[in-house]
Structure 1
């Protein structure tokens, strides 16, 4: 067996930095359980020279193993431990673009980009073929995408991605950001925004971006697509075909920064901070994400391909894990409930204790 040490990346967010080592340890355990055949042992948090590491034992890692581990969310560097010496292991991350794609946007309520990457990673590990994260091109949907942190992470990985958000301001902000970012970074692309019509009525707007990681890839047709819909998450099936995604990843309303909103017609949505209950039959604000997810998850499940997976993060102060597990199971999904998948709960602030839950659509 060989000992390895994972240097935890420093986070600009002080609170997240306090949880980073524990979270990447849980993430690494999921990687070992689902993709590496249980070959990782003694995964633990360790201080080396007063600096936090996550250490583990394994048979010598293969090139494919390293390609996978290179994408751990809070990985800064990986070392092989030889006595008192650390031998660097060259990393091979999927990243196609600079980190500013994920970090440059600053706004109230933004999900931490390290956690967004973690949620995408551990959801991908629940797929029937978890190594597809590095050897394939799973298609990603975030049905409550806000200003697109999940979409940007998928783009960083070279994956096709789609998002839905009911907030027109968030839709416009993301459209402006991604167009400007692509232009400033001289990424070859095409972007267009158009109305979505059904039965002669406009039901939303769609931003569609086609881009290439390089001019050569773009010219050869080796492109990726980002699609964002300004519409209702509960109506996701109106915008996308059944069984068209391998991964559905979303950060549910926390009941503090965001709320779920249901109107007379049964519409549910994600609302911006400070939204107030409606009057005269207008939408009212609910602090719990459970009502929203109960209405939306059955439709989301039908958008998953067999063998695909869904991952949801939420505030445990306003929704219990058992409630979300029941919603996922009632939609025909298999909840991943091993000890490895129960190690992600952490504090965001005084009002938010965040956790995640993952489920897979059976392939049979």
Structure 2
């Protein structure tokens, strides 16, 4: 048996920082259940030098393998990993290289009201990837991601950080424009080889929406070889997703449901977002999800997974699990997947639900 400890990444968000220890333990539990064959034991915490660490052990005599280290390096809040001598209370650094291809400012530079915490976005993407039939595909960068209510692109940025092809949809034109401007500017300032274009989507003499597309090279050599990361965003209602994306073309669908505070959903699922005029917005996301999840499921490959975060004040877990089950999805409901509820502020207690497409 080998013992390990890792330091949790500091968070600028005080409330999230308080929840981070419990959240990353739950995330580690999912990794262990889905990708490590239950090899990790004794997941807990210890205070070393006055600082809290997450601790765990491997069963048997062996240390973590290279593949296991590659996987655990991507835990959302892992800052530094150590081999831990419990008797001596000493730590030996262990090299952990995450998938990250780009500077962290891709995730952190955008600041706006209502932005989802970057560490939680990474956690949601991770545990959804673990719910697929091929959790190890994350390490091969072989997953294609859809965020069907992408806002200003936090999920898309995390997918790009991992080197995953991704796509997003959002009905809000201002969010669409803001994200396209941000990414163009970031790519230019980062001096990354890329192509980017945007324009209307027309079919049968009708304008259906707008599309922003980018092909990005992690470095010049890979770009020259044609090894690019594809990203596209469509400015249209998520219920129209079938008109823009092929069936069974994504491995992951990852999104934040409207929290019912700054953003609501149209009754009957007719869109997302806030604003003045038009029908009154519903604080509960259930109607929207009941209409949208069957659409998203068609776009998901068999063996793929959907992960949704939501505000428990406006919808119950069983209610959302029922919506996913009605669409023919298998909800991941083990103890590991029930450890993610946490407070965001007085009006939001966030949780996540994940389901697999048979």
- How far 1:135 sits from its partner (Å)? 2.3
- Aligned 8 A contact 2:269 2:287 in 1: no
The counterpart of 2:115, out of the listed 110, 115, 118, is: 110
- Aligned 8 A contact 2:269 2:290 in 1: no
Structure 1 residue aligned with 2:349: 353
The counterpart of 1:318, out of the listed 314, 318, 322, is: 314
- Aligned 8 A contact 1:166 1:230 in 2: yes
Q: In 1, distance between residues paired with 2:301 and 2:209?
A: 25
1:341 counterpart = 2:337: yes
The counterpart of 1:68, out of the listed 71, 78, 81, is: 71
Aligned residues: 353
SS in 1 for 2:209: strand
Q: In 1, distance between residues paired with 2:90 and 2:286?
A: 50
- How far 1:137 sits from its partner (Å)? 1.4
- Unmatched 5+ residue regions in structure 2? none
Q: In 1, distance between residues paired with 2:22 and 2:329?
A: 27
Deviates more, 1:350-359 or 1:196-205: 196-205
SS in 2 for 1:135: coil
Structure 2 residue aligned with 1:30: 30
- How far 1:130 sits from its partner (Å)? 0.4
- Aligned 8 A contact 1:22 1:45 in 2: no
Relative to the length of structure 1, the TM-score reads: 0.95
Structure 1 residue aligned with 2:210: 205
Structure 1 residue aligned with 2:200: 195
Q: In 2, distance between residues paired with 1:75 and 1:122?
A: 15
The counterpart of 1:269, out of the listed 257, 268, 271, is: 271
- How far 1:198 sits from its partner (Å)? 2.6
Q: In 1, distance between residues paired with 2:254 and 2:48?
A: 34
The counterpart of 1:134, out of the listed 108, 119, 139, is: 139
1:55-101 per-residue CA deviation (whole Å, 9 max, x = no partner) reads 00114100000000000000000000023210011011100000000
- How far 1:258 sits from its partner (Å)? 1.0
- Unmatched 5+ residue regions in structure 1? none
Q: In 2, distance between residues paired with 1:39 and 1:320?
A: 32
- Aligned 8 A contact 2:165 2:231 in 1: yes
For residues 45 and 84 of structure 1, do their structure 2 counterparts lie closer, same or farther at Cα, with a shift above 3 Å needed? Answer: closer
1:241-281 per-residue CA deviation (whole Å, 9 max, x = no partner) reads 0000000000110000211124xxx6622214xx34x4xxx
> After the TM superposition, which residues 36-115 of structure 1 pair with which residues of structure 2 at under 5 Å, given as runs?
36-58=36-58, 59-82=62-85, 83-115=88-120
Q: Give the root-mean-square deviation of aligned CA atoms.
A: 1.0
1:152-187 per-residue CA deviation (whole Å, 9 max, x = no partner) reads 000000000000000000000000000000000000
- Aligned 8 A contact 1:235 1:296 in 2: no
SS in 1 for 2:265: strand
Q: In 2, distance between residues paired with 1:284 and 1:199?
A: 32
